Chains A and B, each alone.
Chain A
Amino acid sequence: MNLILQFLFNGLATGALYAIVALGFGLIYNTTKIFHIAHGAVYTIAAYLLFSAFILLKLPLYLSILIALFGTAFFGILIEIFVYKPFYKKNAPPVTSFISSLGLYIILQNLIALIYGNQVQVLTTQPEKTFQLGSIIVSRIQWLEITTFLIISILFYLIISFTRFGKSLKALSDNPLLAEVVGIDIDSSRLKIFAIGSLLAGLGAILSALDTGIEPTMGLPIVMIAIVAVIIGGSSVFEGALVGGILLGILQALSIWQLSARWQNTVVFIALIIFLLFKPEGILGVRRRLEEIKI
């Protein structure tokens, strides 16, 4: 019984990490309709910014984390200005911005590899502090992951429900053209969306970098899982990413427990195919006719 609880808790902690990254992807995908694969590169950049500040420049950890977060948000803005905005202004079909996002991911990942090398780097060498919570063992990072997840969820809920910006997000997600007609400044909203979305990716990256170390290819697997989380949670509502992320974390933990760690990603993608077949709108999404889904 304890073993199950421990696995479930580990799944919850990993799921919290997925949920944070997925929230960023979902925010961007939902409002701009860009299939932002380069989110993975943004994630990797955050980890390497932390590495540069903390290990190479030997700055204190809290300052390094701040630098990494703001640097990542800034990078997200740069991507929007120099890559996606030109496509948007040209009214290019969504598939072309998807492919250019893929291209951008490839470029950034390999630039990082050129600068820092392809090998794995670690940020801390001492073992993670742990403590008992009832019968389960909790590491400090897991604690941090779950707390961050809770804070982000509450903040996000408040922003969406009570601010003008939150309303404009909903409007953009529902109908961008109409949103522009009623006076929402699309350009500046998109900048904010990319800044916040990238910040969330950065947050996830920092948590994972402190836990397991960093390498240039770390971004794509996690962004793939984040995408799956957004789809199975329900891509038409922002909260879907949070639910999907936690569910996938727990699903992976259960598959490690029952099968083996080698199959944990396979299980995620089988879940994706099952959802796309039987419930393409996701858990929280509203059922629409296939023709209504604007892509």
Chain B
Amino acid sequence: MKALPLSEPVMLVVLSLAEQPRHGYSILKDVERMSSGRVMLSTGTLYGALRRLLAQGWIERFAEDESPRDRRVYRLTSRGRRNLQVEVERMRHLTRLATVRVARREA
């Protein structure tokens, strides 16, 4: 799985979709909210990330009935959710390791 580890913006996009299916603008706003305004994606960056996630099968998109023609909704696939679990586990391991090492250094 060459896509891992995820960069912070892509991780935030995936986390945004882990909660519920969203369309592009909603993802932008959610990423901004989750990072307390620290990560503000441009549309070019967002759609670059979405294209790659689509190509790798992490997410899928569909059209909503009442939405305008160009507005598509993205959701995490089961593969994407599995990969996210792996990534979260990796980060958890890293955090545990860092905590132990820092504590050992301070002691």
Asked if A and B are interacting partners, one says: no
